[in-house]
């Protein structure tokens, strides 16, 4: 009988309902933690990806704006140069008109003097 009792002893399985509940809760908690860490990791990856994409987009916009500003600066310089040349041309024109007026006045004076001299000569004769 002793032999039979020893054989039956290993087949006696104690109740594991309490142990199963503990392991089940541990598995659930680890699953929730791992799932939440996966979600957090994916979300942070997406945030970095979109952040990098936004940074690249802003860099491109900045480069475009810089190019436009450079073009505007070049155009402003050209406008200033054109204004200077127009001013010089207008100054030259006004100077030439003044000289023309002086010369026409001198010519008129000469003609008047000639006419007056000829009139005086005619009257003397």
Does some domain include residue 5?
A: no
Looking at residue 1, its pLDDT comes to 46
Looking at residue 122, its pLDDT comes to 58
Q: Which domain holds residue 44?
A: 13-124
Does some domain include residue 111?
A: yes
Does some domain include residue 68?
A: yes
Does some domain include residue 110?
A: yes
Does some domain include residue 105?
A: yes
Looking at residue 110, its pLDDT comes to 64
Does some domain include residue 4?
A: no
Q: What is the pLDDT tens value at each position of the chain, 125 positions in all?
A: 455 555 555 555 555 556 678 888 888 899 889 999 999 999 999 988 898 999 999 999 999 999 999 999 999 999 999 999 998 888 877 777 667 666 666 666 666 665 665 656 555 55
- The whole-model pTM stands at 0.40
Number of domains in the chain: 1
Does some domain include residue 75?
A: yes
Does some domain include residue 7?
A: no
Dihedral (CA of 45, 51, 57, 60) sign: negative
Looking at residue 25, its pLDDT comes to 85
- At 125 the three-state DSSP class reads coil
């Amino acid at each position: 009988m002793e032999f039979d009792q020893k054989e039956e002893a290993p087949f006696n399985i104690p109740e594991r309902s309490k142990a199963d509940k503990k392991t089940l809760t541990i598995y659930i908690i680890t699953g929730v933690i791992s799932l939440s860490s996966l979600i957090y990791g994916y979300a942070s990856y997406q945030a970095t990806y979109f952040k990098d994409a936004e940074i690249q987009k802003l860099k491109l916009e900045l480069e475009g704006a810089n190019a436009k500003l450079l073009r505007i600066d070049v155009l402003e310089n050209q406008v200033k140069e054109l204004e200077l040349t127009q001013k010089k041309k207008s100054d030259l024109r006004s100077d030439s008109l003044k000289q023309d007026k002086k010369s026409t006045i001198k010519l008129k004076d000469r003609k008047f003097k000639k006419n007056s001299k000829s009139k005086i000569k005619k009257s003397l004769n």
